Structure 1
Amino acid sequence: MLCGLLWSGVMKRSISTHVFLQQRLHAGLLDAMVAAGAQSIELFAARHHFDYTDRAEVKELAKWFRSHDCRATLHQPIFETRASDWSRHVPATINLIDVEKSRRIDAMDEVKRALEAAEQIDIDSIVLHLGTANDTWSERSLDLSMTAVEHIKAFAHPLGVKTLVETLHNDVTTPEHLMDMLRIAHLDTVNVCLDIGHVNLHDMGGVQNAFAVLGNRIREIHLHDNHGEKDEHLWPGDGTVDWDVVRKGITGLKHEPVGTLEIAYEPEIDAKAMSAKAAKAFAMLEEPVRN
């Protein structure tokens, strides 16, 4: 197919199960992602959706991945709630750099529980969140970030899982501050998940700047859109992101990134509709760059 020829070797297609966050993850949903062209799937770790503490559930998903030509990555848990307590109004509360030590320990333990799924599922990498929207850049946040990443890296490495840190909508994880943290801590094997929607927000420096600063430390890219004011996680093309800038940035990378559609969950969407939208988004992303 023409799109495959245009984009071959530039980006590995991926979809996050976040689009089905309100549903229990099962093989039929994974099948729909592959049908859309996904070569990799980001497992969004939330117990009501993908219960990484349920060994039988993890075993069943591992069986699916072994029988399909599809890779897996992992997004760390961000919700503290158990499966029976979750609703779409629950805020993200797991914070690896929380000011309270007990909450940092709880967050670390939950992330490690999710990583234990890699004992059965061959997971390539985990994406980490450092802080929440209210966290600011300081010597304290830098020290806590370095400690958290080093700890997770030490746990993930024996499982064969690479560690990535994500650009969030906070001052701790701007492209500049992430690069400072990786440099100061000598975290040469830890890389970055560039979230396009987050850096498109009005106070985050922009997409072009993010590619320029992060460069070849980018290993995964979260692909979603917004209108520059709030984090909407829209399908690419439904907001104000300049996708030609994204295409140019990707083609300039030394390492082929995983390009993950990380879309807001829609209560009414079914597997077939998601698959059609994802295929359309991939086709748009694979259009030739306009000069």
Structure 2
Amino acid sequence: MLRAISTHVFLPQRLHAGLLDALVAGGAQSIELFAARHHFDYTDRAEIKELASWFRSNDCRATLHQPIFEPGLGQWSRHQPATLNLIDPDKGRRITAMDEVKRALETAEQIDIDSVVLHLGGRDDKWNERSLDLSITAIEHIKAFAHPLGVKTLLETLHNDVTTPEHLLEILRSGHFDTVGVCLDVGHMNLPGMPRLDEAFGVLAGRIAELHLHDNRGQRDEHCWPGDGTVDWGVVREGIAGARPEAKAVLEIGYEPELLVKTVSENAAKAFRLIEA
């Protein structure tokens, strides 16, 4: 798998070339751009142009994480819950979420983006015929928009009932989405009510195009560095060994205000050594 790091680790900061340099210094062969306007403003042409120039000048790929925050919320904080939901029961809110994801995808006109990771549903969304239908509709719209831009669509396993490995497979089969892949979030599989990690790898075998790698202590979605929680990294290594070589292993780490940029590079290199041991 390709080593990758998400800019999520710098989420409170405005993204710039120096931060991308730090991720490459940590071993990143690909960078996941976390689409949040206060961080990576996908509506700012000058900012996109600057980042596009960086990617053209560096031997590094790019992927995109869909926006999960509505614009205009005021000051962002780490306690801000996701407010964009592509399968929200309210049609107006679904349209708002869809429009925001499309705005972020337009950056692929300048930055060569390989894939976009989608969230289907919030924490309390349940699996039923309605959520299945709304998921299929959302994927069809995003895929139709992303495909001409050369961007592959991926679905993430979240800590909810809609995106368990089995339910994601049902969505993909029902929608006949043969070219849509899965982003298996390792940390989410370590939370209450989720299937075991080895089971998730088994169910999704052949569909995993990306992994989100982070740790926790089994109760909250903490996004710790690998090794700082209770995730079984031996199981992760086995899953990586059976994955496609072009798949991406993305460190998706929560930010720490006091953490130096240099320390992020060092921690990332250490995490990759742990994962690949």
TM-score above 0.5, yes or no: yes
Distance 1:59 1:86, change over 3 A: same
Gaps spanning 5+ residues in structure 2: where?
none
- Kindly indicate whether residue 237 of structure 2 is the aligned counterpart of residue 251 of structure 1: no
TM-score of the superposed pair, with normalisation by structure 2: 0.98
Letter in 2 for 1:248: E
Q: Does 1:115 align with 2:105?
A: yes
Matching residue within 47, 52, 69 for 2:59:
69
Contact 1:219 1:255 (8 Å CA) reproduced: no
Q: Check 1:84–1:61 CA distance in 2 against 1; reply closer, same or farther (3 A cut).
A: farther
Determine if contact 1:72/1:124 at 8 Å carries over to the other structure: yes
Greater alpha carbon shift after TM alignment, 85-94 vs 28-37: 85-94
Alpha-carbon distance change, 197 to 277 in structure 1, aligned in 2, over 3 angstroms: same
**How many residues are treated as equivalent by the alignment?**
277
Show the counterpart of 1:181.
171
Alpha-carbon distance between aligned partners in 1 of 2:6 and 2:154, rounded to the nearest angstrom: 15
* Greater displacement, 81-90 / 269-278: 81-90
Counterpart of 1:34?
Answer: 24
Three-state SS of the structure 2 residue aligned to 1:85 is: coil
Q: Does 1:46 align with 2:36?
A: yes
Q: Structure 2 CA distance, aligned partners of 1:123 and 1:51?
A: 15
Shift of 1:87: 2.8
Give the superposition deviation at 1:255.
Answer: 4.6
Contact 1:49–1:83 (8 Å) recurs in 2? no
What is the rounded CA distance, in whole Å, between the counterparts of 2:142 and 2:58 in structure 1? Answer: 28
Paired with 1:194 and 1:42, the residues of 2 have a C-alpha distance of 15
Runs of 4+ residues deviating >6 angstroms: none
Output the CA distance in 1 between the equivalents of 2:146 and 2:244. Answer: 24
CA distance in 2, matches of 1:45, 1:269: 21
Identity among equivalent pairs (%): 73
1:94 aligns with: 84
Paired residues of 2:2 and 2:245 also in contact (CA < 8 A): no
Partner of 2:222: 232
**Residues of 2 paired with 1:31 and 1:254: CA distance?**
27
**1:48 touches 1:82 (CA, 8 Å); kept in 2?**
no
Match of 1:6 in 2: none
- Provide the C-alpha distance between the structure 2 equivalents of 1:56 and 1:189, rounded to a whole number of angstroms: 33
> What amino acid does structure 1 have at the position aligned with 2:139?
V
* Pairing 1:147–2:129 present: no
Distance (Å, rounded) in 2 between the aligned partners of 1:193 and 1:126: 10
TM-superposed CA distance for 1:227, in Å, is 1.3
CA RMSD of aligned residues (A): 1.0
Name the aligned partner's letter for residue 138 of structure 2: A
How far 1:32 sits from its partner (Å)? 0.4
Separation in structure 2 between the aligned mates of residue 69 and residue 172 of structure 1, nearest angstrom: 37
- Structure 1 residue 83 displacement after superposition: 8.0
CA contact (8 A) 2:209 2:244 kept: no
**Which residue identity does 1:80 align to in structure 2?**
E
* Letter matched to residue 254 of structure 2: A
The answer (yes or no) to whether the contact 1:47–1:82 under 8 Å persists in 2 is no
CA contact (8 A) 1:52 1:114 kept: yes
Q: Kindly indicate whether residue 148 of structure 2 is the aligned counterpart of residue 131 of structure 1.
A: no
* CA displacement, residues 99-119 of structure 1 (integer Å, 9 cap, x when unaligned): 000000000000000000000
Q: Once the 2 structures are TM-superposed, how far is the Cα of residue 271 of structure 1 from its aligned partner?
A: 1.1
- The Cα shift of 1:68 comes to 0.1
Select which of 191, 196, 203 maps to 1:201: 191
Deviation at 1:200, TM superposition (A): 1.4
**Distance across 1 between alignment mates of 2:40 and 2:136:** 28
